[in-house]
Structure 1
Amino acid sequence: MGADPGEGVDMHGDSREIQLGAALVEAADTLAEDFDTVAYLRRVSDHCVALLDASAAGIMLIDDGEPVSFGVSGRRQELALDLLEVQHHGGPCLESHGSGEPVPPVTIRAAHASSRWPDFTERALRYDIGSTFAVPLRREGTALGALNVFVPEPAHPSPSPAPADETGLLLAQTLADAIALGLANHRMFTRYRTLAGQLQEALSSRVRVEQAKGILAERRRTGTDEAFVALRQFARSHRLPLDEVATAVITGSQDIAELGRERPDPPRPRD
């Protein structure tokens, strides 16, 4: 008889690998003009919940020590957002971000009893969260924020801290690193697009000025250098950008006769 196709195959493991692969692809997909940071953080948080069988998950982006943006999973969205917002005065996200290291799983009851993150743990107990952990979002030594995972209260809660789940931490950190890379790539993509747009506008402006010089030179029957001086003097005297005056000349909306009557100052004699 042939071997069972499923014999010796960890189907749950294969499923998790597929899920992780999909999550990493999602985390890398940030090079788009219509990129929405909040929607992106929600999608990758959803992947984290699915991978870790968590109640909810959320991502806090931090700049200069202050939270600047939140992204939470679609599952129990209100819970996740509330537990991120309450961390302004302390919590696993700020702790992980500050140290640059993961905050291993800790039971909420144990943290509350020891007065660790009192506001956060009190709120988490209201939602029947049993434990939590966080991993930093970091890229090339720069801390961007943290990913926080919320695990449901077990059927028989224990007051002692939960043992660190190395697999869960590793999965979360892998996803967090991919998210940090995706965000960094998007920032670079945006910066380059802005720079390219500025360079294109500068080139287009130069072309418009040259075209306006030619139009004025032809109508005034003079050289292009003199025409350029006339353009520049008109722009200065009317406190207008040179490109705006050039565009007006090209389109005919500028009073060409007035511009034509203005004579440029004679060049200064050289020493």
Structure 2
Amino acid sequence: MDREQRLADTFVELADTLIDDFDIIDFLHQLSTRCVELLEVSAAAIMLALPGADLQPAAASDDRAELSDLLALNQREGPALDCYRTGSPVGPFDVARSTPQWPDFAGQARRAGYGVVCALPMRLRREVIGSLLLLRAGATPLGSADVRLAQALADAATIGILHQQTLRRHAALTAQLHTALHSRIAVEQAKGVLAARWGTTVDEAFTAMRRHARTQRRLLSEVAHDIVNGGFQPDRVE
């Protein structure tokens, strides 16, 4: 398969996040693997951060201990962390010559056999969710075209991830609204049942239901369902 076809297939893969069984770990591993294939880098990794949390390794093109150690180091020092904090690309640069700000990272990268490193933000507008770290053995630099392609892959993956999160939030909100509407029907029915039973107004019945729910530390919807289904039959306003 030629590079153009692999590139087209990769963007299709990164766009396919609308499936019900979407697996973000598999998705990110696929991204790191495709980066190695398309950009001819030695390794690629994705670092992500939840809102208010530290940057964490999420996926890598291989599981060698040297790469794992380097990713762990990037949680406190290195291009991936700086890239995430600034939302801007870091590098590419020669590890041996251009990393005085990260002495530990530079030493660890050299010991692992990497000579060139680049970090690109996983960003959509102002929202930065992590960074894509590219590592190449030897001193051959990454060309500007490869850097632009890597950023395009990172952008496509970020859009896919955030879109999936939006869909899940929407689904959760829809479920909550569905529950709320059904609970409201039960509450209205319970108010009517109590008002008829006590010969009082529905407002007084509702006040009594709320007071009982709070006293018993129960949800109002649960008390309403008990009243409607005969599980709770108070004979007076409490």
Q: Smaller-chain TM-score range? A: 0.7 to 0.9
Query: Residue 129 in 1 paired to residue 114 in 2?
Result: yes
Contact 1:45 1:57 (C-alpha < 8 Å) held by counterparts: yes
Aligned partner (choices 133, 144, 148) of residue 148 of structure 1? 133
TM-score with structure 2 setting the length: 0.84
Please list every run of 5 or more consecutive structure 1 residues that lacks an aligned counterpart in the other structure.
1-11, 265-271
Q: CA deviation at 1:187?
A: 2.5
Does 2:173 align with 1:195? Answer: yes
Which segments of 5 or more consecutive residues in structure 2 lack a partner in the other structure?
none
Given that 1:91 and 1:117 are in contact with CA atoms closer than 8 Å, whether structure 2 keeps it comes out as yes
Residue 57 of structure 2 corresponds to 70
Q: Taking structure 1 as the reference length, what is the TM-score of the superposition?
A: 0.75
What one-letter code is carried by the residue in structure 2 that aligns with 1:126? R
Question: Which residues in structure 2 correspond to 1:195-214 (within 5 Å)?
Answer: 195-214=173-192
Matched with 1:103 is 90
Deviation for aligned residue 1:236: 4.2
Match of 1:243 in 2: 221
Per the alignment, in what secondary structure is the counterpart of residue 97 of structure 2?
helix
Aligned-residue sequence identity (percent) comes to 37
Check if 1:263 corresponds to 2:237. Answer: yes
CA contact (8 A) 1:208 1:247 kept: yes
Give the secondary structure class of the aligned counterpart of 1:210. Answer: helix
Greater C-alpha radius of gyration: 1
How many residue pairs end up in the alignment?
A: 238
Kept in 1: contact 2:198–2:237 (CA 8 A): no
**1:253 to 2:231 alignment:** yes
Q: Does 1:53 align with 2:40?
A: yes
1:129–1:248 distance in 2 versus 1, CA, 3 Å: same
